Amino acid sequence: MEYNFKEIESNWQKYWATNKTFAAKDGGDKPKYYVLDMFPYPSGAGLHVGHPLGYIASDIVARYKRHKGFNVLHPMGYDSFGLPAEQYAIQTGQHPKITTEQNIARYREQLDKIGFSFDWDREVRTSNPEYYKWTQWIFIQIFNSWYNKSTNKAEPIETLIKVFETKGFNSKLDDTLTGDIEKDLEPFTGEEWKAFDEKKKSDILMNFRLAYLGESFVNWCPQLGTVLANDEIKDGVSERGGYPVERKLMKQWSMRITAYAQRLLDGLDTLDWTESLKEAQRNWIGRSEGTSLKFKVSQGDKWIEVFTTRPDTVFGVSFVTLAPEHELVESLTTADNKAAVEAYVTQAKNRSERERQADINKITGVFTGSYVEHPFTGKQVPIWIGDYVLAGYGTGAVMAVPAHDSRDYSFAKHFGLPILEVVAGGDLEKESYDAKEGKLINSDFLNGLEVKDAIKKAIAEIEAKGLGKGKVNFRLRDAVFGRQRYWGEPIPVYYKNDIPYALNENELPLVLPEVDKYLPTEDGEPPLARAASSWKHEGKYDYEHSTMPGWAGSSWYFLRYMDAHNGSVFADKKLSDYWQQVDLYIGGSEHATGHLLYVRFWTKFLKDLGYIAIDEPAKKLINQGMIQGTSAYTNIISKVNYFDLPNEANSNFVIYISKNKLKEFVSSNDTSFISDIYKKHFPNVDFSKTRFEFDKESPNNGIGKRAVLVDYVNPNDTLQFDNFKKWRDLMFRESNLIVEYVFENDGSFIVDREVEKMSKSKWNVVTPDDIAEKFGSDTLRLYEMFLGPLEQSKPWNTNGITGVHGFLKKLWRLFYSPLQGGAQGAGDVAFNVSNDEPTKGELKTLHKTIKKITEDIERFSFNTSISNFMICVNELTDAKCNKRAILEPLLICLSPYAPHIAEELWKQLGHNESISTAAFPDFNEAYLVDDNVNYPVSFNGKVKFTLELAATLTAPEVEAIVRANEQTTKYLDGKEPKKVIVVHKKIVNMVM
């Protein structure tokens, strides 16, 4: 029998599905192991070869752990709310639910074909009401909680109300407030609190709730009636449609993730994640230690508070800068400066964040006309406004020390403001000196101190004068939680008398209503407002009309897999106590700061309220590398300069021109091929006076490029021209153009290649389906792993695929090849496995392989394990080994990687149960011991020859033998070695 992968693979896929081979059991004697892949969004394009990379790796681990005696949870589901489906719905009017279902079906089909060992009984979809009921439930818990700084955890809001009732509230210095929305709340007593009306109470509590309605800046696009993410904006206008975008303060639901900033930071130390990923999170959280410091405004009794990490440089302050959005801007502006300031503020406010970034070198600002007093010298310090100061960070105001901060430095240089040196060591003519090193000068009581000590002393002085307080600031912002979109979880809130109320648990799920269109209303309300007339709480009160963001459902899904169908709780505590953390989490690094922060935040929150026992969602995390596609581009010429072109030949054209021909024509400045084309198309026109020139004005001489569907490009970069032409004509309906092709002299057409991100728009997507069709899924699995280290990005090419496919065939022949008659292969061969005792050599091959494979899996080095399998099969083939005692353990080792062929051969060996139930073989060191050691002998570190010596020899004995060797004598050339180094069982080095 030949290796018929098609039949084998579909049979075993059916077998696994029917027998629920990979269903996880909730409990039992075995230790548990939870392997999770990052939640996929089921896009319409289906899977390309990059997606399964991580799934194959996690599947190998899952299968391996089962062999090792673990109870493995390896689930899969879909993050099925999201923008692409909504966009498609807007264009076609089709309900996103339908497209989502179709996409999921396609995903599932592709996933099944690759033979993953998922427990499909636990599948979840975030867009199912049975699922988002619990997303809404968690939202309500967060809404009904506040962060208690003294216990350092989230607590029910009732405990805060109790505090208010008994002690009242002092002020923001009360230390009760958390997060960065630190509004100045009026103090009140317990009695006053009790007397407040419901609206007032609600407003006050909003400042404490972990899910709260707050004001934050967003990128608002009036024409689209929606808020845009930063990456939906290109060059200051919306990517879609090109409409203007403005920064707008909007009332929005937010999550007080900032309350958890310190814990999110500290928790990183307990995690086995890559250092780079942890570093990304640390940077994102952005903890900085410093102090607040108040400057008294010279006129009136106002104060400006700043945050600084460099209080040591306080004597170097030469001006104070406010963000354009700062609340004191208006009142501090003097009459003389009013017009200028107003103009500047209006313009700065309307620049999107992106725009401000784009003009990083353009320094803008304006003087208010007012001054503050320097807190220590009493000198007058001017107040400026500059958009390099961000309203959202710190206090929205900075004390500018141009000598020791590069941004202040550029600002000061640009506006001719003084630069006062207070830390010695820099060259202020050229640049600011930002380093936290050196001695303080020109700084009164700080003079002579090192920066570190000066910071401490300055804070102490500031605190003593009551001007501020040492504090910690975080870069992390609260997360905006509302989206002006349709296809997301409804936020379970309704409004009564302008007060937001959370739904009761028994009212969940709040089901997404049907709407006539998936667009915002005419007056800019979110799409859900279209349903408002009939969609009301108790038939009277409006629901919240924004929906949850994409990260809501994915912030807790790992818990739902533990108890996927529970209707009465998001996950039974008994089950979450059993499954605990994810032991291995695999996914792309693009989630480093988004998803992975939010899921950690929700996990900590749920732990605080006692719903789960763990503090971090995933113990170990691996980022898979990206698989890049190789795009193909044809050169086209669509613009040349022509002179004296007869009118009747005036026509637009596009010429596809092969790579080398183009080079040839351009380098020789030869445009005759263009006139040839004109002559061909207008045979009756006289072109004798016409002259063509490459367009030297345009960047590439008028030569452009067009992406080609890579399916029609041969490995040698030539086009399958007929296929390409058919596709091209379909894609670009350019019947009104002259379309021509210029080939190489040999008639071929050569394209340019480029390695870049795999994407539909670049026509370079490769789906796993073709590979699976041609070589089988086991080959696909092996090949994706064989490409290189999991974490490394690499371009997809199928050059080596015959190698791994050949390996599987070779493995098959160990079981099926007739031993007599050599290795010719062809013809009928029968299953032929012997029960003979294996030789010492065969046992060595096997155990060496077991050892290496075990080590490789444990360190997630899948590419090397495949090489090791190849070496093993090569050696067994050379030894003509068809012995059960060798092949059986080998199959178990291989089955995580190539499960179908392993199952099939396992069955042929006479087993009735799935190979996944077999125990992973242990290796026996005794088989690996060598009698001899091959010593490389080197002279001054350069290896000259090797010497095979008995392993039992001691180092001095080895040295004696090497010294006596005649080759040694030759290389020593009569000289006595200065030193001889013998590393036992490794190497000998003669130093001359």
Helix (H) or strand (E) holding 705: strand 703-708
692-703: b or e for each residue (b if 16 or more CB lie within 10 Å)?
A: bebbeeeeebbb
Distance CA 167, CA 152 (A): 20
Determine contact, residues 421/441, Cβ cutoff 8 Å: yes
Helix (H) or strand (E) holding 692: strand 691-694
Segment near RNA (CB under 7 A); pick from 141-149, 295-303, 587-595, 772-780: 587-595
Q: What are phi and psi of 388, to 5 degrees?
A: -80, -10
Task: State the pairing for strand pair 145-148/153-156.
Answer: antiparallel
Determine contact, residues 988/957, Cβ cutoff 8 Å: no
Q: Is 870 in the site for RNA (CB under 7 A)?
A: yes
DSSP symbols for 224-290: TTEEE-GGGEETTEETTTT-B-EEEEEEEEEE-GGGGHHHHHHHGGG-B--HHHHHHHHHHH-EEEE
DSSP symbols for 423-466: BTT--TTT-----S-SBB-S-GGGTT-BHHHHHHHHHHHHHHTT
Determine contact, residues 123/76, Cβ cutoff 8 Å: yes
* Cβ proximity to RNA, 10 vs 288, nearer residue: 288
* Cβ proximity to RNA, 154 vs 766, nearer residue: 766
* Cβ proximity to RNA, 672 vs 802, nearer residue: 802
* Cβ proximity to RNA, 21 vs 395, nearer residue: 395
* Cβ proximity to RNA, 867 vs 908, nearer residue: 867
Task: Annotate each residue in 643-682 with x if it binds RNA (CB under 7 A) or - if it does not, as one string.
Answer: ----------------------------------------
In the complex, least distance from residue 369 CB atom to RNA, rounded to whole angstroms: 22
Question: Restricting to residues 752-781, which ones interact with RNA according to CB under 7 A?
Answer: 757
Determine contact, residues 454/446, Cβ cutoff 8 Å: yes
Question: Restricting to residues 109-138, which ones interact with RNA according to CB under 7 A?
Answer: none
Q: Is 687 in the site for RNA (CB under 7 A)?
A: no
Q: Is 825 in the site for RNA (CB under 7 A)?
A: yes
One of 68, 407, 679, 705 touching RNA (CB under 7 A): 407
Q: Is 804 in the site for RNA (CB under 7 A)?
A: yes
Q: Is 473 in the site for RNA (CB under 7 A)?
A: yes
Pair of tokens at residue 844: 């060595």
Segment near RNA (CB under 7 A); pick from 371-379, 399-407, 604-612, 682-690: 399-407
One of 156, 392, 426, 702 touching RNA (CB under 7 A): 392
Q: How many CB atoms sit inside 10 A of residue 525's CB?
A: 15
Q: Is 856 in the site for RNA (CB under 7 A)?
A: yes
* Cβ proximity to RNA, 217 vs 561, nearer residue: 217
Report CA-CA distances (Å) from 802 to 51, 424, 630, 782. 21, 66, 19, 11
Q: Is 821 in the site for RNA (CB under 7 A)?
A: no
Segment near RNA (CB under 7 A); pick from 385-393, 553-561, 578-586, 681-689: 385-393
Q: Is 387 in the site for RNA (CB under 7 A)?
A: yes
Q: How many CB atoms sit inside 10 A of residue 254's CB?
A: 23
Pair of tokens at residue 818: 């007739």
* Cβ proximity to RNA, 4 vs 652, nearer residue: 4
One of 224, 398, 412, 898 touching RNA (CB under 7 A): 398
* Cβ proximity to RNA, 428 vs 755, nearer residue: 755
* Cβ proximity to RNA, 474 vs 656, nearer residue: 474
* Cβ proximity to RNA, 786 vs 897, nearer residue: 786
Q: What are phi and psi of 752, to 5 degrees?
A: -90, 145
In the complex, least distance from residue 947 CB atom to RNA, rounded to whole angstroms: 10
* Cβ proximity to RNA, 214 vs 324, nearer residue: 324
Q: Is 22 in the site for RNA (CB under 7 A)?
A: no
Task: Annotate each residue in 211-250 with x if it binds RNA (CB under 7 A) or - if it does not, as one string.
Answer: ----------------------------------------
In the complex, least distance from residue 371 CB atom to RNA, rounded to whole angstroms: 19
Helix (H) or strand (E) holding 812: helix 801-816
- Quick one: angle between helices 52-67 and 840-858, nearest 10? 120
Compute the residue count for the chain: 992
Q: Please, which residues bridge with residue 762 across strands?
A: none
Segment near RNA (CB under 7 A); pick from 210-218, 388-396, 657-665, 666-674: 388-396
Question: Restricting to residues 781-800, which ones interact with RNA according to CB under 7 A?
Answer: 786-789, 792-794, 797, 799-800
Q: Is 464 in the site for RNA (CB under 7 A)?
A: no
In the complex, least distance from residue 215 CB atom to RNA, rounded to whole angstroms: 17
Distance CA 485, CA 518 (A): 8
Kindly report the CA angle at 853 between 851 and 856, in degrees rounded to 5?
110
Question: Restricting to residues 320-349, which ones interact with RNA according to CB under 7 A?
Answer: 323
In the complex, least distance from residue 193 CB atom to RNA, rounded to whole angstroms: 33
Task: State the pairing for strand pair 365-373/287-297.
Answer: antiparallel
Question: Restricting to residues 273-302, which ones interact with RNA according to CB under 7 A?
Answer: 275-276, 279-280, 283, 286, 288, 290
DSSP symbols for 627-682: EEEEEEEEEEE--EEEES--GGG---EEEEE-HHHHHHHHHTT--HHHHHHHHHH-
In the complex, least distance from residue 185 CB atom to RNA, rounded to whole angstroms: 22
848-858: b or e for each residue (b if 16 or more CB lie within 10 Å)?
A: bbbbbbbebbe
One of 27, 93, 425, 941 touching RNA (CB under 7 A): 941
In the complex, least distance from residue 69 CB atom to RNA, rounded to whole angstroms: 23
- Count of positions on this chain that bind RNA (CB under 7 A): 92
Kindly report the CA angle at 15 between 2 and 28, in degrees rounded to 5?
130
For 497-617, list the strands marked E by DSSP: 499-502, 536-537, 541-542, 584-588
Q: Is 738 in the site for RNA (CB under 7 A)?
A: no
Question: Restricting to residues 354-383, which ones interact with RNA according to CB under 7 A?
Answer: 356-357, 359-360, 362-364
Question: Restricting to residues 826-855, which ones interact with RNA according to CB under 7 A?
Answer: 826, 852, 855
* Cβ proximity to RNA, 739 vs 755, nearer residue: 755
* Cβ proximity to RNA, 636 vs 905, nearer residue: 905
